[in-house]
Amino acid sequence: MLQGNRDTCISAVGTAAFLLSLLASTALSQSTGDGACDPSTGLNPSGGACCQQGGKYCTQINPTYLNTTANGVCLWPNLAGQTPDSNPEFNVPYLNDFACGSNNCNFASDAAVSDTAYTGGSVYYGLVESLTSANLSNISWQATDYYAKFNVALSRYNCEEQYSHWNCDDCRKAYARWACAMTIPACQPSSCATTFKPCVRVCNEVVQKCPVTLGFTCPDDNRDYGESSCNYMGLTAGASETTSSFMLVLTTAFVVTSFAQSN
């Protein structure tokens, strides 16, 4: 179960400071009900109350739901400036579904987005606000809002400069994935009390791929993340992971101060 705190330090660069520790975890309360929630009815397959935790419901997250969010990031449209990946499906013009299982998570274009192949290992259940068929676009609004604020902070950095092997478009994708992991945590519909922590690599990717001046950090005790039996949010589980050498030991106060001085 995710636990932790949220720093809400607001200053001249408050948006940046707020996003450094934004939703480091999501506290969940005792669950009620059983089964996967049908967002159009608010009921599980047996007609009972939806599986619920902390006021959120364990719901099957289909790609068409994510595709209804304006400027959404959980169904990620790859950017032309990203460092090319050896897997063509992680590059333009593909869209990558972060809230997805292990297969069929990518779409060749926006027009190709469909729920048809979203079965078996691809099905993703996530905790979301109470939904109806009229407001499915709200599923990923929170992740999209966090990403928009983060992108404002990133825009203050000179992205024309190559700060490492990675660039700002790589950073944007890594942060979008992390925001989706934090705001739509995976759950198990057959057992409401069961949630899956994001894999620590999801957090480490942001540390690795974003400018160090943003000061994004990950907990060193993995209290909010898992090393195994965790949620990769579309990352290839077998690929090499970021090492602890990329972890930054910075406090939010220091980040705000140094960022302000550089501007």
* pLDDT tens digit at each of 263 positions of the chain: 333 333 332 232 333 333 333 333 332 223 344 456 665 676 766 777 677 777 777 878 889 889 888 889 999 999 999 999 999 999 999 999 999 887 778 999 999 998 876 766 788 888 887 665 556 667 888 999 999 999 999 999 888 877 888 999 999 999 999 999 999 988 887 766 567 889 999 999 999 999 998 999 998 877 788 887 788 898 875 443 333 333 232 222 223 333 344 44
Name the E strands within 142-257. 186-187, 195-196
Name residue 49's amino acid: A
User: In the 8-state DSSP scheme, what is residue 12?
Assistant: T
**R_g over Cα of the chain:** 18
Q: Which two tokens mark 130?
A: 């109470």
- Which residues are within 8 A (CB) of 160 and not within 5 positions of it... i.e. 6 or more apart? none
DSSP calls for 138-171: GTTHHHHHHHHHHHHHHHTS-TTS--SSS-HHHH
Q: Is 44 helix (H, G, I), strand (E, B) or coil?
A: coil
pLDDT value at position 234?
Answer: 87
DSSP H helices, 14-96, are: 14-20, 63-66
pLDDT value at position 202?
Answer: 95
For residues 130 and 38, is the Cβ–Cβ distance under 8 A? no
- Which residues are within 8 A (CB) of 239 and not within 5 positions of it... i.e. 6 or more apart? none
Which residues are paired to 106 by β-bridges? Answer: 96
pLDDT value at position 249?
Answer: 27
b/e 67-104 (16+ beta carbons within 10 angstroms → b): bebeebbbbbbbeeebeeeeeeebbeebbbbbbbbeeb
- Which residues are within 8 A (CB) of 30 and not within 5 positions of it... i.e. 6 or more apart? 53, 193
Q: Which long-range contacts (CB under 8 A, 24 or more apart) does 154-158 make?
A: 154/210, 154/211, 154/214, 156/13, 156/16, 156/259, 156/263, 157/211, 157/213, 157/214
User: In the 8-state DSSP scheme, what is residue 127?
Assistant: E
Which H or E run contains 203?
Answer: helix 200-209
pLDDT value at position 195?
Answer: 72
Describe the strand order of the beta sheet including 52-53 as a list of residue ranges.
52-53, 56-60, 125-128, 186-187, 195-196
